[in-house]
Structure 1
Amino acid sequence: MLNKIMNSIALRNLLFVLLLLGIAVGLGYAASRHPLQRDITFNASNSLEPASINALNQLQGPVNITVYATLQDARLGDIRKVIRDFLSLYQRYKPDIKLVFIDPEKEPARTRAARIQLNGEMVIEYAGRSEHLTLINEQTLTSTLMRLAHSRDQTVMYLDGHGERKLDGRANHDLGLLFGAKLKENGFKLNSLNLAIAQDVPSNIRVLVITQPQVDLMAGEIDKLLHFIDRGGNLLWLVDAGPLHGLERLAEKIGLQLPAGIVIDPAAADMNAPATWSLGTSYVPHAITSNFNLITAYPSARPLTWAENPDWQHHILLEVATRGWISQRDINALSGSPAFDKQHDSKGPAVIALALNRNINDVEQRIVAVGNGAFLSNTFAGNGGNVDLGVNMINWLANDDTLISLQPRAARDSSIILSRTQLTAISSGLLLILPLLLAGVGTAIWWRRRA
């Protein structure tokens, strides 16, 4: 009797259904307790960049996002769904992002009070500060969150009045289009400083940037810079090859030695870059270079060395040209494929980026010196991770170590652009060749069956 019951098809089907339901319930429970997600789209459109995740990790409190959007938009349709789906990527990593929708048509007074200009405009609030956002993409939202993460007014000033590179300038040799723009996106305020006019370097700035002057500084200007160092100011010094025009006293003050010469890096030639370029491919561990693995490029870099000083701690950030050398020859004679000359050159590697710090008045003073200013210029800043490294330097100098990360990138273009020839080939294949092929196969099958 028992065998008949066990051999019953109905019972076996019932047991199979119960087992299947048990497996489904078990998998559902496991998925709810241990969710796993994987983005297999080509451009990772359903995931956040590491920089965005890092920015979210730095936000210690809740983020309130108020979206002023109608139920339907004439161009985008259900704009609320678009925004909700986009922000869900951020809520996945930071669940305390609170999202509220307000219909401007139903609450016009509240919309006017918030100074809303566009349908779909968002107000991002964090730690008592807020910003408006009108573009819906990862780069702009993450940059907004990074700006809000700054706990205080962050002013970066750059020395001006002697032909230096301008941090907000648009000329090829200036630094404003990429590097300066990224600093502004991250919440820094940029101002110029002319020490021939200013009584002193302002005490409330976070970082002073000095690039290569083209004329000599007056002795009084140098005195003001040295006073800035004496009182613990933080400095980014981009030292190009060539005369220092009075900044020798500053170099002596911080123990920086600047031997003459241009770094020649054969690794650059291997990448079809000019012979006078140096490539940064590996970085000495430091807060500035933490998790930084992008290639950086330095046109006509000069080497840096330092004098040992018990007051200062020196940290090498970047060493280049392990197979190269430092050339004392004129830069115009180094075009093409230069070769090592024992009489004029010295073997590499060469240090071209250096961080210094010391404690002064119970506060840590930080200085970064780079043997090149062109790497952040409008002409060359777009190479590799140049801007990212420059922003990391500023963040470290401003004591915002937690904001050091790769900067958020613009979304990659996923559109396909086809030429007229390619469109014609695809159209012919779909509308002519494929139907004829199917007709031929059908005819062949019919003929074989008939035979």
Structure 2
Amino acid sequence: MKRTSLYSTAGILLITLIVVLVNLIANTRFFRLDLTEGKTFTLSPASKQVVGNLQDPLTVKVFASRNLSPQLGDVKRFLNDLLSDYRAYGHGRFRYEFIDPSTSDDLEKEAQSYRIPPFQENVWNKDQLELKKVYLGAVFLYQDKQETLPAVQSTAGLEYNITSLIKRLTSQQDRTIGFLTGHGEATTGENLRQVSQVLQSNYKVREVDLTGLDGVPDDIDVLLIIDPQSEIPDADKLKVDQFIMKGRPVGWFFNKVDADLQRGMARSRLLKIDEWTKTYGFRVNEDLVADLSSEMIQIQQRAGFFTIANTIKYPFFPRLNRFNKDHSITANFEVASLFFPSSIDTTLAADKEIKLTPLMFSGDRSMVEEGRYNINATRKFSEAEFDRAYLPLAAALEGPFDSYFAARDLPTDEDGKTILPEDELVKKAPENTRMVVVGDGLFLRDDYLSNPSNVLFLLNSVDWLVNDTDLIALRTREVKMRPLKDIAAAQKQVWKTVNWFLPPLLVILLGLVYWQVRRNSRTREI
């Protein structure tokens, strides 16, 4: 007994010594193990690069109340750890401090001067739920500029938001995204409000109407053409063409079929745009792509005297899960949604020394409809109709694009004079000129913007177009949407049967095992 007691005491002392040594080492050595798939809790290479390139000191003031709820307390600790990581890679130029505004009226005034307001949260006090005024926000100060995170209430996207703030503070120029208007395009003030608001976190945004202008304004860094409804006249084509010839990037997002789901009717959209875009190495085909993997819509159906709302899958709203993982725009994508999309002819670029990279594809059970379109929501599809696979629906292009007007007459004004003197026409773009094309303009509109991945696609596309890809991987690594893959009807029936009968069979089997064990133990006792 004495020897056993001695061993127990020695074991306890040894364990205590090990714990003390581990704590001493931990105080001098920083170590963190991140087992998440996307390394969510590890500072990304993009963030390390951005903070490592600071030329002047950057100060972060975090205004945080002391007694927060457990949920916000976790957010506060995560923010502290994250800022500590930034400081570790900031080469002495990144500093931060936590301030409790509730300790002083002056500190409260300082927080509010940085536009960090208090907000209400529910906290438990003596077994009662109370509303309490708290602070949890931060201001970033760099040179004579400042950016604010007014209310940090979640860890989701926090690293992306901080790195974006630092990039804005340290950027030497403000890039401007132009939205082409004048031909029925979607506009930032009417039906592109959400994407416009998101873009404004990193860029300036404004609409561009070419009427009366000599060309696309020089301060426009990227031109987006989203969902035009009518033909773009040659005068405007020339202005956009010469914008491209200067090496400026363009994003094309348009449907070739005008579809009305409410009326169940569709017809070709007379954009007369094919010859223009074929010059640049692509064409959006005049078709509709449907997919068995699709979004749900709600329809009204009659059942006797009643009208019933039913939710059904609608193949002309394909839910995509096949992406080019080798391109930065879609490398981390898992899902996106398109609406009445058209496929893209990718065979034209090879003859023009243009590098075309497909980005998004339909699934392995797709269908193409041409000529006469039947988009009625109650249409009965057969699986045999879905005999196509992996149709390209979006692409990135890069190369020395030819001018559409290199071998054409230049458009003239009302007096018969050419809008641009022929000797000033640029006929070849620089080799690094970029474009993105999607056979759908609806997927960015407010009334169709149900999938957050659609906004991410536009953000990634714009970043790639301006050749600023630092934030792309960081933006998408926290967004993981993995929809279940569709399976054949026979497989569904098999799994339904298994789910019906397997649980009770397992219960019966466990009962038999338990009964046999009890029986054996009684036999041994006898």
TM-score, normalised relative to structure 2: 0.63
Which amino acid in structure 2 is aligned with residue 366 of structure 1? R
Distance 1:67 1:267, change over 3 A: closer
Distance 1:325 1:23, change over 3 A: same
Counterpart among 91, 95, 99 of residue 98 in structure 1: 95
Which amino acid in structure 2 is aligned with residue 149 of structure 1? K
CA distance in 2, matches of 1:379, 1:209: 19
Which amino acid in structure 1 is aligned with residue 174 of structure 2? D
The answer for the alignment partner of 2:31 in structure 1 is 35
Q: Which has the higher strand share?
A: 2
Distance 1:34 1:131, change over 3 A: closer
CA contact (8 A) 2:333 2:476 kept: no
Counterpart among 149, 169, 181 of residue 160 in structure 1: 181
Distance 1:287 1:125, change over 3 A: farther
CA contact (8 A) 2:245 2:429 kept: no
The answer for the alignment partner of 1:446 in structure 2 is none
Indicate whether 1:25 and 2:41 are aligned. Answer: no
Counterpart among 351, 362, 365 of residue 323 in structure 1: 365
Q: What is the correspondence of 1:397-408 to structure 2 with a 5 Å cutoff?
A: 397-405=465-473, 406=475
Indicate whether 1:280 and 2:320 are aligned. Answer: yes
Indicate whether 1:225 and 2:267 are aligned. Answer: no
Deviations 1:195-232 (A, max 9, x none): 11322112332211002322232221111011111111
The answer for the alignment partner of 1:369 in structure 2 is 437
1:89 is displaced (CA, Å) by: 3.6
Distance 1:160 1:9, change over 3 A: closer
Distance 1:327 1:341, change over 3 A: farther
Which amino acid in structure 2 is aligned with residue 354 of structure 1? A
The answer for the alignment partner of 1:238 in structure 2 is 253
* Superposition CA RMSD, Å: 4.1
Seq. identity, %: 20
Which has the higher mean CA deviation after the structures are superposed, 297-306 or 242-251? 242-251
Which amino acid in structure 2 is aligned with residue 181 of structure 1? Q
1:357 is displaced (CA, Å) by: 0.5
The answer for the alignment partner of 1:214 in structure 2 is 229
Indicate whether 1:253 and 2:296 are aligned. Answer: no
CA distance in 1, matches of 2:438, 2:10: 73
Which amino acid in structure 2 is aligned with residue 154 of structure 1? R
Q: What is the correspondence of 1:50-449 to structure 2 with a 5 Å cutoff?
A: 53=44, 56-61=47-52, 63-67=58-62, 85-96=77-88, 97-101=94-98, 105=104, 111=110, 118=117, 120=135, 122-125=138-141, 129-137=145-153, 138=155, 142-143=160-161, 145-150=163-168, 151=171, 152-166=173-187, 168-170=188-190, 174-177=191-194, 179-185=195-201, 187-242=202-257, 243=269, 245-268=271-294, 272-306=312-346, 307=348, 308-333=350-375, 335=377, 336-339=379-382, 347-358=388-399, 364-383=432-451, 385-405=453-473, 406=475
CA contact (8 A) 1:268 1:274 kept: yes
Which amino acid in structure 1 is aligned with residue 213 of structure 2? A
CA contact (8 A) 1:175 1:378 kept: yes
CA distance in 1, matches of 2:189, 2:285: 29
1:189 is displaced (CA, Å) by: 1.2
CA distance in 2, matches of 1:324, 1:387: 24
Which amino acid in structure 1 is aligned with residue 193 of structure 2? G
CA contact (8 A) 2:339 2:440 kept: yes
CA contact (8 A) 2:316 2:375 kept: no
Deviations 1:401-450 (A, max 9, x none): 1111335989xxxxxxxxxxxxxxxxxxxxxxxxxxxxxxxxxxxxxxxx
Distance 1:361 1:130, change over 3 A: farther
CA contact (8 A) 2:443 2:449 kept: yes
Distance 1:199 1:270, change over 3 A: closer
Q: Secondary structure at the match of 2:229?
A: coil
CA contact (8 A) 1:297 1:375 kept: yes
1:175 is displaced (CA, Å) by: 2.2
Where structure 2 has 5 or more consecutive residues not aligned to the other structure, the ranges are 89-93, 119-134, 258-268, 298-311, 401-427, 480-526
Q: Secondary structure at the match of 1:380?
A: coil
Distance 1:296 1:140, change over 3 A: closer
Deviations 1:325-383 (A, max 9, x none): 211143344542335899xx984431110100115776621100000111111122222
Which amino acid in structure 1 is aligned with residue 82 of structure 2? Y
> How many corresponding residue pairs?
388
CA distance in 1, matches of 2:149, 2:182: 36
Distance 1:49 1:331, change over 3 A: farther
Which amino acid in structure 1 is aligned with residue 433 of structure 2? Q
1:299 is displaced (CA, Å) by: 1.1
CA distance in 2, matches of 1:176, 1:314: 30
Q: Secondary structure at the match of 2:432?
A: strand
Q: Secondary structure at the match of 1:21?
A: helix
1:384 is displaced (CA, Å) by: 5.2
Distance 1:196 1:380, change over 3 A: same
CA distance in 2, matches of 1:139, 1:214: 38
Distance 1:81 1:285, change over 3 A: closer
CA contact (8 A) 2:288 2:368 kept: yes
Distance 1:270 1:164, change over 3 A: closer
Which amino acid in structure 1 is aligned with residue 456 of structure 2? D
CA distance in 2, matches of 1:324, 1:39: 37
CA distance in 1, matches of 2:111, 2:360: 52
Distance 1:261 1:77, change over 3 A: closer
1:191 is displaced (CA, Å) by: 0.5
Where structure 1 has 5 or more consecutive residues not aligned to the other structure, the ranges are 1-5, 41-46, 411-451
CA distance in 2, matches of 1:13, 1:103: 48
CA contact (8 A) 1:326 1:348 kept: no
CA contact (8 A) 1:58 1:403 kept: no
